[in-house]
Amino acid sequence: ILNVEQSPQSLHVQEGDSTNFTCSFPSSNFYALHWYRWETAKSPEALFVMTLNGDEKKKGRISATLNTKEGYSYLYIKGSQPEDSATYLCAFIGTGTASKLTFGTGTRLQVTL
């Protein structure tokens, strides 16, 4: 079973702070990396699908970078808001495994006023 790790496990920031989390994955046989946001009492929603080394993606105040050679991705949130409070999951897909995602355990973010 592949090892996909996320750090930190949880994070508590104040409104307006910028923050970032890490997803580490196997650097060999990389095919794609997904980021999802999972708010309490809702279903996980996709943020980004990243496939190329050096990829940078942005959606509003959230952005992500990808380094496939060293096996990590960063998720950044600029100027955190209470509505950003959620668990952020990354998921790795290796070559030859079709659509099979291996998820990390997530980073739980809490943003307070």
Partner 1 sequence: DGGITQSPKYLFRKEGQNVTLSCEQNLNHDAMYWYRQDPGQGLRLIYYSQIVNDFQKGDIAEGYSVSREKKESFPLTVTSAQKNPTAFYLCATSGTGGIYEQYFGPGTRLTVT
SS3 53: coil
Nearer to partner 1, 104 or 111 (CB): 104
**3-state SS string for 88-106:** EEEEEEECCCCCCCEECCC
Q: How far is the CB of 81 from partner 1 (least distance, A)?
A: 23
By beta-carbon proximity to partner 1, the closer residue of 13 and 94 is 94
CA distance 51 to 68: 9
In this structure, are residues 70 and 53 in contact, taking their beta carbons and an 8 Å threshold? no
Distance in Å, CB of 22 to partner 1, minimum:
15
Q: Which is nearer to partner 1, 40 or 113 (CB)?
A: 40
Residue numbers of the site for partner 1 (CB under 8 A)?
A: 1, 4, 31-32, 34, 36, 43-46, 49, 51, 89, 91, 93, 97-106
